[in-house]
Amino acid sequence: MRQRRPNRVTGPGHDGFWEYCAAGELRIQRCDACGHRSWPPVESCERCDHRQLTWQLTSGLGRVVSWCTFERQYYPELDVPWDTILVGDMCYERPLAERLLGWLIVIARDGANVLLGDPGRSYFPKSGVTKLATYNVQTTRELEDREIRETSVYRLAPDILPGAGPT
């Protein structure tokens, strides 16, 4: 198993973020010139290159609409890829579910914490997962056959999976 990375990046910009967190506040950098918000912390605005940035208090509430896996090492103290991966609603088509699940199993066996969000799709694995929580999520009739969809978050447990695809 690979060596575990530190649980946070420290240094200019990042130390301020962690100080706010320790005080119970979630703050994100905001450019004083154009209003663009940046994460991770930067020295100058990614949009206009202005160097005056303010740590703006946020509510801490939000909706995940996208995610990425960092494949380039931005910080020398953090290995890639990251240790936790969250994938949501990937099991609605068999080819997609098989391909992603195979990759996620390899990553989980290498020590990553793999979390899956799923509303009960057809190709979700029947074994090798542990349910962590269930939520009622608001959706639209354009996407689903109802306005509230029950969905659950699971931890992938690759050591008990019989193979690399849905069962």
**Do 156 and 90 share a structural domain?**
yes
Q: What are the pLDDT digits (tens) for 120-132?
A: 888 998 888 999 9
The sign of the CA dihedral 127, 92, 112, 155 is negative
Assigned domain for 70 exists: no
Model-wide pTM > 0.75: no
**What pLDDT does 164 receive?**
43
Assigned domain for 78 exists: no
Assigned domain for 28 exists: yes
Is 99:123 a contact under the CB 8 Å cutoff?
no
**Do 91 and 144 share a structural domain?**
yes
Q: What are the pLDDT digits (tens) for 38-61?
A: 878 888 998 999 999 999 988 766
**What pLDDT does 67 receive?**
57
**Do 154 and 98 share a structural domain?**
yes
**What pLDDT does 22 receive?**
83
Q: What is the arithmetic mean of pLDDT over 53-77?
A: 69
**Do 96 and 140 share a structural domain?**
yes
Rounded CA gap, 151 and 134, in Å? 6
Assigned domain for 72 exists: no
Assigned domain for 41 exists: yes
**Do 125 and 57 share a structural domain?**
no
**Do 146 and 90 share a structural domain?**
yes
The single-letter code of the amino acid at 49 is D
**Do 88 and 56 share a structural domain?**
no
Assigned domain for 121 exists: yes
Total domains in the chain come to: 2
| Domain residue limits at 51 | 1-63
**What pLDDT does 69 receive?**
60
Is 167:143 a contact under the CB 8 Å cutoff?
no
**What pLDDT does 24 receive?**
82
Query: Does pLDDT of 33 surpass 90?
Result: yes
Could you tell me the pLDDT band of residue 154, with boundaries at 50, 70 and 90? very high
**Is residue 153 classed exposed, middle or buried when 0-12, 13-18 and 19+ CB atoms within 10 A define those classes?**
middle
CA dist list (Å): 104 to 2, 4, 11: 16, 18, 32
**Do 99 and 42 share a structural domain?**
no
**What pLDDT does 5 receive?**
47
More confident residue, 143 or 16: 16
Assigned domain for 133 exists: yes
CA atoms within 13 A on the CB side of 155: 11
CA atoms within 13 A on the CB side of 160: 9
Assigned domain for 98 exists: yes
Rounded CA gap, 167 and 164, in Å? 9
**What pLDDT does 79 receive?**
65
